[in-house]
């Protein structure tokens, strides 16, 4: 009994919430559908919409990895405390920005397209947002988590613009003239 | 009860240990942190963040970006919003389709120039269907039938044949561009049916008229994208660098396709 409980507790605590390769397309389709439903629900207050959407994406978006890549070489020079503060701020920024973008496209349709395995540890899920005029291509980029069969999102590319690439460039430029604390404040 | 306290104790110490191993103590159970060895792999995938961009017009570009910003926020967007309250969305989409259909020669010839014959034929088909069944292009019947527009412009054609982007140039009103795309825009405008020119099919009388049409075109287009500019702006730490970088990324992708 004791052994079992300990094991169970430990298991739940260390479980990664990624998706297995064969499920990426189906699970992402479900997630995108759920998000669309939440967004189109006119009765739901904005705060609950946010809450629902964030809990929907939290398991697949790897904010920590995103934070790390977005800071590039700077990351290694930071203290643990700085890393933590940055991750919290950046996660908040990414979520807020994602939600605001979604709000613009409430009546648009999303078409999930093909899965592309770029290499052994990278998969891209292609999708289209069909707008009133144009169609926007959105690519979700997954990486394979070390020593596991789970996949997590480390970047999203919208019409050719990579979110992480854009932040990476901006952060590096910012840090050329300003301090890390100023960067945190601006997020 | 004793057991439970014991279990909790174990769990706590255990997480304590694993925290030591992890670079990040909090919430390490929630998601991953990539290993040092993986960082290099990611670094190769993304562009070197410290790469210097050749930007001789930086001073002017910054100034123009801020000027454009003021024009968009205080003039262009309010005008578009006002226009949107008067003209119903269906009509605006119709007009947008109409303009898009008229600009067919630009897409068709640039597809041909890049030897994309399939895409050229699609464009030709779209033009024929939409101009007739689609009532002079007001209804995009072809798209409903699954024939998507094949966007190409002369900047992309140049890029397709290996012409580099040159340095970045911010155009008045139109926003981010570069040397190659500005030249491309000039060529596209030259063959654009809704500008005044010497070509057979160009019915526009003079520059004033073509400027009027261009204004209508952009206001109508902008009215279909409310709030987008403001939204995008929020992602910028530095407005100019943000638009420069996203523009170049987007164009590189378009040329690649």
Which CATH code is given to the segment(s) A18-186? 3.10.450.710
- pLDDT value at residue B202: 85
| Residue B127 neighbours by CB under 8 Å, 6+ apart | B101, B104, B108
CB contact at 8 A, B42 and A162: no
- pLDDT value at residue B68: 97
Q: Which residues of A touch B31 (CB under 8 A)?
A: 16-17, 62-65, 152
- pLDDT value at residue B33: 62
Whether the CA torsion A169, A173, A175, A181 is positive or negative: it is negative
Q: Which residues of A touch B234 (CB under 8 A)?
A: 97, 100
DSSP string, B170-207: EETTTEEEEHHHHHHHHHHHHH-TTS--SSTT----SH
- pLDDT value at residue B10: 42
C-alpha B178: how far from chain center:
14
Q: Which residues of B touch A121 (CB under 8 A)?
A: 41
Cβ contact (<8 Å) for A172 and B50? yes
Give the gyration radius of chain B's Cα atoms. Answer: 26
Domain ranges, ordered by start, for chain A? 18-186
Cβ contact (<8 Å) for A160 and B15? no
Give the gyration radius of chain A's Cα atoms. Answer: 18
- pLDDT value at residue A15: 43
CB contact at 8 A, B137 and B130: yes
Q: Tell me the pLDDT of chain B (257 aa) as tens digits.
A: 444 444 444 444 333 333 333 333 344 444 456 665 577 788 888 888 778 889 999 999 999 999 999 999 999 999 999 999 999 999 999 999 999 999 999 999 999 999 999 999 999 999 999 999 999 999 999 999 989 999 999 999 999 999 999 999 999 999 999 999 999 999 999 999 988 888 888 888 888 998 999 999 999 999 999 999 999 998 899 999 999 999 999 999 999 98
Q: Tell me the pLDDT of chain A (187 aa) as tens digits.
A: 565 555 555 444 444 468 888 888 998 999 988 988 888 888 889 889 899 999 888 889 999 999 999 998 888 899 999 999 999 999 999 999 888 888 887 777 889 999 999 988 999 999 998 887 888 899 999 999 888 888 999 999 999 999 999 999 999 999 999 999 999 998 8
Report pLDDT digits (tens) over B29-39. 444 566 655 77
- pLDDT value at residue B245: 94
């Amino acid at each position: 009994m004791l052994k079992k409980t300990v094991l169970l507790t430990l298991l739940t605590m260390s479980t990664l919430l990624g998706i297995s390769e064969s499920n990426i397309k189906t699970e992402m389709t479900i997630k995108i559908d759920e998000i669309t439903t939440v967004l189109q629900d006119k009765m739901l207050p904005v705060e609950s919409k946010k809450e629902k959407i964030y809990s929907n994406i939290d398991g697949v978006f790897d904010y920590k990895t995103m934070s790390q890549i977005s800071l590039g070489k700077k990351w290694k020079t930071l203290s643990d405390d700085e890393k933590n503060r940055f991750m919290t701020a950046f996660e908040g920024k990414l979520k807020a920005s994602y939600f605001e973008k979604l709000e613009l496209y409430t009546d648009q349709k999303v078409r999930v397209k093909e899965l592309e395995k770029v290499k052994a540890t990278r998969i891209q899920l292609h999708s289209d947002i069909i707008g009133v005029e144009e169609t926007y291509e959105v690519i979700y980029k997954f990486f394979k988590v070390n020593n596991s069969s789970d996949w997590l999102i480390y970047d999203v590319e919208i019409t050719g613009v990579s979110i992480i690439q854009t932040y990476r460039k901006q952060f590096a430029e910012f840090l050329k003239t300003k301090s890390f604390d100023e960067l945190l404040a601006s997020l | 009860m004793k057991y439970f306290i014991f279990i909790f104790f174990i769990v706590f110490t255990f997480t304590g240990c694993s925290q030591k191993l992890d670079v990040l103590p909090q919430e390490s159970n929630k998601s991953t942190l990539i290993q040092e060895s993986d960082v290099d792999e990611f670094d190769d995938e993304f562009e070197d963040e410290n790469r210097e961009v050749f930007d001789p017009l930086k001073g002017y570009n910054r100034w123009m970006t801020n000027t454009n910003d003021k024009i968009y926020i205080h003039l262009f967007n309010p005008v578009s919003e006002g226009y949107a309250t008067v003209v119903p969305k269906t009509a605006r989409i119709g007009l947008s389709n109409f303009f898009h259909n008229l600009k067919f020669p630009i897409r068709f010839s640039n597809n041909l120039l890049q030897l994309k014959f399939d895409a050229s034929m699609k464009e030709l088909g779209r033009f024929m269907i939409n101009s007739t069944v689609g009532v002079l292009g007001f209804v995009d019947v072809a798209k409903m039938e699954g024939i998507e527009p094949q966007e190409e412009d002369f900047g992309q054609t140049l890029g397709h044949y290996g012409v580099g982007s040159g340095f970045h140039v911010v155009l008045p009103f139109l926003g981010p561009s570069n040397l190659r795309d500005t030249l491309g825009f000039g060529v596209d405008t030259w063959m654009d049916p809704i500008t005044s020119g010497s070509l057979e099919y160009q019915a526009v009388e003079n520059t004033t008229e073509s400027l009027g049409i261009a204004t209508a075109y952009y206001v109508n287009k902008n009215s279909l994208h409310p709030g987008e500019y403001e939204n995008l702006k929020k992602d910028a730490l530095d407005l100019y660098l943000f638009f420069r970088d996203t523009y170049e990324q987007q164009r590189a992708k378009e040329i690649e396709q």
